[in-house]
């Protein structure tokens, strides 16, 4: 049986969110958003070890919130984050063995609605032998490619997907990618920049698996939580 680590990156400042408290600690349906994210991953992969990446300034606040909300910290190791998302993942990876027999799921703390369905598809692709797996959904808006001179051209949206997390990797591949590259907005892009020959496998994500970016997303997430079981 393979060992599974879940890295939840939640060390961002959430500047775009516009609240004094980073978005991962904001209230979603009665408790901090991050608690929903952690529970979703613990329920989806109960045998995993969770590495929770937090900014060092917020670790004591997190412990206070856990006490206040009677949220179990069992099975969760806290790691200090870095200045960028990639640095935060790298700090967590230092606690993961570099082995082909270990799987790593990397998940944004700001995606509280990733559920069993999405995570199971990622795990199944890893178990089938894929080394790097991303959940993704079709793009529904029309797309235009904008050039530096400001001109733009329509592109065929059927050639594109929007990438989500949790992304799944063989731990040895993710380690080597992080040894060989500096930064990317997501982990699969970083793996591909170091290993151009590795196939990034795409599995269906879910429209409800939104990343909380602005305060209105909280209201959307609460509505999605109420109706998700109907999808």
Interface contacts to ligand C5P, rule CB under 6 A? 9-12, 24, 53, 81-85, 88, 108-110, 211
**Cβ proximity to ligand C5P, 130 vs 188, nearer residue:** 188
Minimum distance, C-beta of residue 82 to ligand C5P, in the bound complex (Å) = 6
Minimum distance, C-beta of residue 42 to ligand C5P, in the bound complex (Å) = 17
**Cβ proximity to ligand C5P, 92 vs 130, nearer residue:** 92
The rounded distance, in Å, linking the Cα atoms of 135 and 131 is 14
How is residue 121 written in tokens? 């598809």
Residue 141 DSSP one-character state: S
Contact criterion met (CB below 8 Å) for 212 and 23: yes
Contact criterion met (CB below 8 Å) for 10 and 111: no
Minimum distance, C-beta of residue 156 to ligand C5P, in the bound complex (Å) = 26
Minimum distance, C-beta of residue 17 to ligand C5P, in the bound complex (Å) = 8
**Cβ proximity to ligand C5P, 35 vs 110, nearer residue:** 110
Neighbours of 25 (CB within 10 A): 19
**Cβ proximity to ligand C5P, 2 vs 63, nearer residue:** 63
**Cβ proximity to ligand C5P, 85 vs 170, nearer residue:** 85
Contact criterion met (CB below 8 Å) for 215 and 222: no
Count the alpha carbons within 13 Å of 224 in the hemisphere toward its beta carbon.
Answer: 19
Minimum distance, C-beta of residue 39 to ligand C5P, in the bound complex (Å) = 16
Minimum distance, C-beta of residue 129 to ligand C5P, in the bound complex (Å) = 28
Contacts of 117 (CB under 8 A, 6+ apart): 206
Q: Which residues of 98-128 are buried (b: 16+ CB within 10 A; e: fewer)?
A: eeeebbbbbbbbbbbbbbebbbebbbebbee
How is residue 229 written in tokens? 């079981």
**Cβ proximity to ligand C5P, 130 vs 224, nearer residue:** 224
């Amino acid at each position: 049986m393979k060992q599974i680590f879940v890295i939840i990156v939640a060390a961002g400042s959430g500047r775009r969110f516009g609240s004094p408290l980073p978005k991962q600690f904001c209230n979603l349906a009665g408790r901090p958003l991050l608690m929903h994210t952690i529970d979703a991953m613990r329920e989806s992969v109960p045998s995993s070890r969770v590495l929770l990446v937090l900014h060092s300034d917020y670790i004591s606040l997190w412990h206070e919130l856990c006490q206040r909300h009677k949220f179990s910290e069992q099975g969760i190791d806290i790691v200090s984050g870095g200045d960028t998302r990639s640095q935060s993942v790298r700090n967590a990876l230092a606690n993961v063995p570099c082995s082909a027999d270990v799987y790593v799921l990397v998940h944004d703390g700001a995606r509280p609605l990733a559920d069993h369905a999405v995570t199971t598809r990622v795990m199944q692709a890893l178990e089938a032998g894929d080394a790097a797996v991303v959940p993704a959904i079709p793009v529904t808006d029309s797309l235009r490619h904008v050039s530096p001179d400001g001109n733009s051209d329509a592109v065929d949206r059927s050639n594109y997907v929007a990438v989500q997390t949790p992304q799944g990797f063989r731990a040895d591949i993710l380690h080597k990618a992080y040894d060989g590259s500096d930064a990317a907005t997501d982990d699969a892009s970083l793996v591909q920049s170091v290993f151009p020959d590795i196939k990034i496998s795409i599995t269906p994500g879910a429209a409800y698996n939104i990343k909380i970016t602005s305060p209105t997303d909280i209201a959307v997430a609460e509505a999605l939580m109420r109706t998700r079981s109907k999808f």
